Amino acid sequence: MDTVFIEDLRIETVIGIYDWERQIRQVVALDLEMAFDNRKPAASDKIADTLDYKAVAKRLIAFVESSTFQLVETLAERCAEIVLEEFEVRWLRLKLAKPGAVRGSKAVGVVIERGEKPA
C-alpha cells in the first residue's frame, strides 16, 4: 500500500465546549495518511494522476476555518468524510490534535481510521 501524507497542518477554528472557547479561535493540527496507488503518477509524472495533497490541504483548511464544532471527534469525522468522498481515497488515518487543551500536555485529540485499508 502506498501512502500520501500531510503532517502537522495547523488551522485556526472555533472548537470547544466551554463558553469562552466559543468566543475565540484556537489552533488544531491535522495529520493525514491516505492510501493511494502511486504507480500511475510515478510513471506519468503528471499532477493530474496524483492524489494532490495541496488540493486536499486547501479544502480542509477552508472547511475547518469556517467550522464551529464543539468536539474534536465531530470535526475529525467531517474532515475524514470530505477526503473520502471528494478525493476518491479508499482509506485514511486522521489525527486531529488540539494543542494546549490540557495543562501539562503538548496536545490532546483523536486518531480515526476510515475506509477499507488496502493490503
Give residue-wise pLDDT tens across range 3-33: 999 999 999 999 999 999 999 999 999 999 9
Give residue-wise pLDDT tens across range 93-107: 999 999 988 899 999
Is-contact 92 34, C-beta < 8 A? Answer: yes
User: Quick one: average pLDDT of 50-71?
Assistant: 97
**Per-residue pLDDT band at 50 (split at 50, 70, 90):** very high
SS3 at position 3: strand
Is-contact 49 59, C-beta < 8 A? Answer: no
pTM of the model: 0.93
Average pLDDT, the chain: 96
- Structural domains in the chain, sorted by start: 3-115 (3.30.1130.10)
Is-contact 3 29, C-beta < 8 A? Answer: no
pLDDT over 80 at 119, yes or no: no
| Single-letter amino acid code for the residue at 35 | A
Active site residues: 98
